[in-house]
């Protein structure tokens, strides 16, 4: 028998139940530890306090109480305590609990986590515990890192549906992707949005390493860019980019599949270049200058040690000079740590032709 507790409540006609529930809720009057109950055409809403003395206007109840609300004392079921930590559901051998991850990323309906070797034998148990706490998830996967030119995660589903395709929501966008075939990081959502909000009306943008298109689609949604050219060498990334263009009903994105170096001749002059290939972006910087208008912005991603940032910015300024541009201002945006010693940065370079 679930535990019960007595509480002051409002007895309201069922037909007006939702109306009054919202009114009490908006005024923080509902006791959320107790379950609302319905009996014989009435809803009993447990309250934190008797509304006597509370101005009816502020609760926005009808002044003349047409609906005959009664306030009375009743017994209510107490909501079972929520378990919000998957660790409490696990009984692992002594000493292993401390190795359990304290956080994990969620992409769509898939949780992705890193597990130390000591926990691999218990991965299914761990995955099931996460699924039972996070009811909105369908699967849990181990992430062994991003690899290769396509920057694809090596993942293995450890619990739930054996499906690696999912739809992730980011700042109002819906992005469909298959985690086992394309790169995507939910940690860059804020950066996709930041860049989109910088784009001015009429700009032509080049997303040189576009993946499934989060920068391009965000820009299309949140700016008045005229055209966005999106290149990626991974054919699956292109397939998902095209699906995402449809899913988000955007129109000014031009997807190009292949090596940026080979496709660059198909791109017109642009006002902004996004270069998110953090270990190798700078090897392609000549392409950005080749296609840059008289003035423009390059968002160059780089993973480096914090101690090298200053020197790296000096190197970038020198590179501008080599390609006939100058950069008066390079802004550094720290996008988070990549490893103990390395951080992921975006360098926003405002460049002008000399």
Ligand X SMILES: C[S@@+](CC[C@H](N)C(=O)[O-])C[C@H]1O[C@@H](n2cnc3c(N)ncnc32)[C@H](O)[C@@H]1O
Q: Which of 173, 245, 260, 351 binds ligand X (CB under 6 A)?
A: 260
For residues 259 and 318, which CB has a smaller minimum distance to ligand X in the complex?
259
SS3 13: strand
CB of 343 to ligand X, least distance (A): 15
Q: Which of 259, 286, 318, 326 binds ligand X (CB under 6 A)?
A: 259
Q: Is 151 in the site for ligand X (CB under 6 A)?
A: yes
For residues 51 and 214, which CB has a smaller minimum distance to ligand X in the complex?
214
For residues 206 and 231, which CB has a smaller minimum distance to ligand X in the complex?
231
For residues 140 and 335, which CB has a smaller minimum distance to ligand X in the complex?
335
Q: Can you tell me which residue has the tokens 């809403």? A: 45
For residues 121 and 259, which CB has a smaller minimum distance to ligand X in the complex?
259
Q: Is 237 in the site for ligand X (CB under 6 A)?
A: yes
Q: Is 184 in the site for ligand X (CB under 6 A)?
A: yes
Q: Which stretch binds ligand X (CB under 6 A): 3-11, 143-151, 303-311, 341-349?
A: 143-151
Sheet of strand 110-113: strand arrangement: 105-107, 110-113, 139-147, 152-160
Contact, 46 vs 9, CB < 8 A? yes
Question: 144 is written with which tokens?
Answer: 């062994």
Which H helix or E strand runs over 214? helix 214-222
Question: 352 is written with which tokens?
Answer: 């002008």
Contact, 318 vs 294, CB < 8 A? no
Q: Which of 188, 228, 287, 346 binds ligand X (CB under 6 A)?
A: 188
For residues 24 and 240, which CB has a smaller minimum distance to ligand X in the complex?
240
Please give the residues from 206 up to 225 whose contact with ligand X meets the rule CB under 6 A: 209-211, 214-215
CB of 193 to ligand X, least distance (A): 12
CB of 177 to ligand X, least distance (A): 9
Please give the residues from 294 up to 353 whose contact with ligand X meets the rule CB under 6 A: none
C-alpha distances (whole Å) from 308 to each of 14, 278, 281, 311, 348 are: 66, 15, 16, 6, 17
CB of 175 to ligand X, least distance (A): 9
Give the residue nearest to ligand X (CB): 211
How big is the site for ligand X, counted in residues (CB under 6 A)?
A: 20
CB of 211 to ligand X, least distance (A): 3
Q: Which of 18, 149, 286, 315 binds ligand X (CB under 6 A)?
A: 149
Contact, 51 vs 29, CB < 8 A? yes
Compute CA 209 distance to the chain's CA centroid, rounded to the nearest angstrom.
Answer: 19
Which H helix or E strand runs over 139? strand 139-147
Output the 3-class SS for 55-123.
CHHHHCCCCCCCCCCEEEEEEEEECCCCCCCHHHHCCCCCCCHHHCCCCCEEECCEEEECCCHHHHHHH
For residues 32 and 283, which CB has a smaller minimum distance to ligand X in the complex?
283
Q: Which of 31, 164, 276, 327 binds ligand X (CB under 6 A)?
A: 276
Burial class (CB in 10 A: 0-12, 13-18, 19+), 200: exposed
Q: Is 231 in the site for ligand X (CB under 6 A)?
A: yes
Q: Is 166 in the site for ligand X (CB under 6 A)?
A: no
| CB count in 10 Å sphere of residue 42 | 18
For residues 209 and 312, which CB has a smaller minimum distance to ligand X in the complex?
209
For residues 7 and 276, which CB has a smaller minimum distance to ligand X in the complex?
276
CB of 297 to ligand X, least distance (A): 16
DSSP label at residue 30: B
Which H helix or E strand runs over 237? helix 235-247
What residues make contact with ligand X under the rule CB under 6 A? 149-151, 183-184, 188, 209-211, 214-215, 231-234, 237, 259-260, 276-277
């Amino acid at each position: 028998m679930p535990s019960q507790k007595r509480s002051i409540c409002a007895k309201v006609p069922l037909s007006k139940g939702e109306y009054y529930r919202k009114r009490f809720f908006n005024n923080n009057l509902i006791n959320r530890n107790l379950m609302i109950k319905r009996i014989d055409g009435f809803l009993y809403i447990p309250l934190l306090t008797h509304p006597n003395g509370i101005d009816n206007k502020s609760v926005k109840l009808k002044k003349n109480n047409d609906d005959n609300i009664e306030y009375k004392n009743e017994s209510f079921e107490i909501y079972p305590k929520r378990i919000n930590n998957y660790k409490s559901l696990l009984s692992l051998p002594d000493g292993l609990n401390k190795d359990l991850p304290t956080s994990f990323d969620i992409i769509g309906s898939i949780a992705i986590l890193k597990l130390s070797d000591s926990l691999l034998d218990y991965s299914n148990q761990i995955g099931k515990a996460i699924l039972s706490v996070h009811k909105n998830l369908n699967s849990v996967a181990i992430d062994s890192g991003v690899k290769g030119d396509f920057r694809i995660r090596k993942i293995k589903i450890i619990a739930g549906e054996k499906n690696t395709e999912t739809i992730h929501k980011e700042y109002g966008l819906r992005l469909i992707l298959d985690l086992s075939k394309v790169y995507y990081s939910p940690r860059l959502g804020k950066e996709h949005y930041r860049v989109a909000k910088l784009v001015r009306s009429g700009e032509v943008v080049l997303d040189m390493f576009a993946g499934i298109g989060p920068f391009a689609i965000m820009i299309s949604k949140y700016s008045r860019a005229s055209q966005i050219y999106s290149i990626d060498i991974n054919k699956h990334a292109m397939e998902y980019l095209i699906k995402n263009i449809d899913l988000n009903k955007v129109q000014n994105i031009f997807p190009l599949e292949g090596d940026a170096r080979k496709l660059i001749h198909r791109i017109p002059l642009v006002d902004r270049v996004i270069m998110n290939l953090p270990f190798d972006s700078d090897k392609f910087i000549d392409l950005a200058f080749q296609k840059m208008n008289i003035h423009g912005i390059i968002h160059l991603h780089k993973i480096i040690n914090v101690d090298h940032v200053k020197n790296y910015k000096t190197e970038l300024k020198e590179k501008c000079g080599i390609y006939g541009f100058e950069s008066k201002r390079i802004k550094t945006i720290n996008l988070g740590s990549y490893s103990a010693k390395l951080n992921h940065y975006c360098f926003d370079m405002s460049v002008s032709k000399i």
